[in-house]
Structure 1
Amino acid sequence: MSLDFGLTDVHVLISGASGGIGRETALCFKELGSKVTAHYNSSIRDLESISGLVPIKADVTSEEQVDQLFEQAKQRQGRPVQVLVVNHGIWPVEPFLLADMSLEHWQRTHDVNLTGSFLLIRAFLRQLKGQPEEILDKVSVVTIGSTAGKFGEKDHGDYASTKASLMYGLLPTLKNEIVLIAPKGRVNSVNPGWVMTPMAEETIKDDKVRARALASTPLQKVAMPSDVARQVAVLCSPVLSGHVTGVNVMVDGGMEGRCLYPPPN
């Protein structure tokens, strides 16, 4: 049985599309027949070589570049962005307790992860104003949160703070505001635990880190980028999730909390 997601020819913009989750999400939407704009910041990686993707570079902390991103996407795809996947983000590898964290470190993470998300969402909403019903009927936003936003994360309070803000502050606010522009517009969040991405792979290889990560996870495995991408596609689908908004979906294997020390053998 074939399943129509209702996303054929829908214009989808994915931020941070050159990373593990972003790239897989872009491929997933491409397979569903969407018009996919793949945003990247510094490294395009192999996006240019993937048929059907339109890669566009932009610094998400720059108002001007974000506005240009949406204008370029509209010009190249022939219609405004209808679905926004806010996937970009940084997770500084070097650990810092809050007592030892510099203001510069804190601000940099918030500038990229939180302010960058705000600028993308604001530009997205603005370019939808006055659009016809056929465009507005497919409008959706999905942000990529994290278990860090739910449980916190020792040594990475900056990252946890940005994700909690997206999941529990911005999401419920935006789901009430987006309908003022797009009456059927929906906003949800997909929140992974550890995912086997290039950014996290080296850290996950550490036996102690992996043991702590899986100590409270019933499924006892690290997610793959496709696990996250498919949930994003389901939530963006007006057919499968047309009455779902304001929801945080945890893609974490059932994780119940943090284990600060490796479990006993």
Structure 2
Amino acid sequence: MTTQTGQTGQSGKVALVTGAGSGVGRAAALALLGDGYRVVLAGRRAEPLQAVAQAAGAGDRALVVSADVTQEASVAQLFGRCVQAFGRLDVLFNNAGSGAPGVLLEELTLAQWQQVVDVNLTGMFLCVREAFRVMKAQDPRGGRIINNGSISAYAPRPNSIPYTATKHAVGGLTKSAALDGRKYDIAVGQIDIGNASTVMTARMQEGVPQANGELGVEPVMDVDIVGQSVRYMASLPLDANVLFHTVMATKMPYIGRG
């Protein structure tokens, strides 16, 4: 998967991936590094990020930065480190996300609700805002932002109100940012993922609640397919944009969740 700088058309471009230490973020970071990007690997814990950098064998094309997307100062520092190290930012994969325990709606605590909102919505906004500030000021101007939505941006699962509400909100954030980014040559799109095989989705193969109240085993797909999708979206020229891209396990419940 490793590609040395100078061997692809994306050589020299700079990407920043939040939540890059595992799952979808890891797959996307490896795909971008494999395509010749210089990549900032961001997450709360440095150890998994270092492991991704080592797996890619990318050398100084990978920069590990510990960051908390819910904290304004931490996000500003993250993007500052990116510009300091690589001089610009071409692609942001706005991936960091969180869920709440699958409890009954009436038993969900305010703290559980707020934690998901802080990561999935406020954190995504803070990263979009900082990316705008960098991309509009750099030369050549502009860049691309890819927000991680979800199938849950369209169809909820049982007992998922904070996650579903925030992922619906991400759709509005994406549309609004896509409109506001036009004047700066910033293209903004969203990838909506269904049942990529990660630690978080391991439970799918053991049985998860369905809309009819039963437990059902659900199919999953290789998470590397998501990495390929992010790489494709990132590769487009700035005069073209994938506004919404859905990639999912073919036989998973989606329409009607059945």
- TM-score bracket for this pair, using the shorter chain length: 0.7 to 0.9
- Match in the other structure for 2:249: 253
TM-score of the two chains, using structure 1 as the length reference:
0.83
Superposition RMSD in Å? 2.1
Alpha-carbon spacing, 1:173–1:5, altered in 2? closer, same or farther (3 Å)? farther
Q: Per-residue displacement from partner, 1:132-161 (whole Å, max 9, x unpaired)?
A: 22x53xx11111111111101211110111
Q: Distance in 2 between matches of 1:195 and 1:130?
A: 36
Aligned length: 239
Give the % identical residues: 25
Which of 13, 19, 30 is 2:33 aligned to? 30
Which of 135, 155, 160 is 2:159 aligned to? 155
Segments of 4+ moved more than 4 angstroms: 208-211
| 1:128 to partner: Cα distance | 2.1
Q: Distance in 2 between matches of 1:6 and 1:256?
A: 38
Alpha-carbon spacing, 1:153–1:8, altered in 2? closer, same or farther (3 Å)? same
- Match in the other structure for 1:65: 74
Asked if structure 2 preserves the Cα contact closer than 8 Å seen for 1:15 and 1:86, the reply is: yes
Q: Distance in 2 between matches of 1:235 and 1:26?
A: 13
Asked if structure 1 preserves the Cα contact closer than 8 Å seen for 2:198 and 2:223, the reply is: yes
Asked if structure 1 preserves the Cα contact closer than 8 Å seen for 2:207 and 2:217, the reply is: no
| Partner SS, residue 257 of structure 1 | helix
| Partner SS, residue 143 of structure 1 | strand
- Match in the other structure for 2:190: 189
Asked if structure 2 preserves the Cα contact closer than 8 Å seen for 1:28 and 1:229, the reply is: yes
Alpha-carbon spacing, 1:236–1:48, altered in 2? closer, same or farther (3 Å)? closer
- Match in the other structure for 2:235: 237
| Partner SS, residue 146 of structure 2 | strand
Which of 108, 111, 114 is 2:121 aligned to? 114
Which residues of structure 2 form unaligned runs of 5+?
1-6
- Match in the other structure for 1:84: 92
- Match in the other structure for 2:3: none
Q: Distance in 2 between matches of 1:114 and 1:98?
A: 19
TM-score of the two chains, using structure 2 as the length reference:
0.85
Aligned residue type for 1:251: V
Asked if structure 2 preserves the Cα contact closer than 8 Å seen for 1:83 and 1:236, the reply is: yes
Alignment of 1:93-112 (within 5 A): 94-112=101-119
Which residues of structure 1 form unaligned runs of 5+?
215-220, 260-265
Are 1:49 and 2:54 an aligned pair? Answer: yes
More strand by share: 2
Q: Distance in 2 between matches of 1:43 and 1:160?
A: 29
Aligned residue type for 1:13: L
| 1:208 to partner: Cα distance | 5.1
Asked if structure 2 preserves the Cα contact closer than 8 Å seen for 1:6 and 1:238, the reply is: no
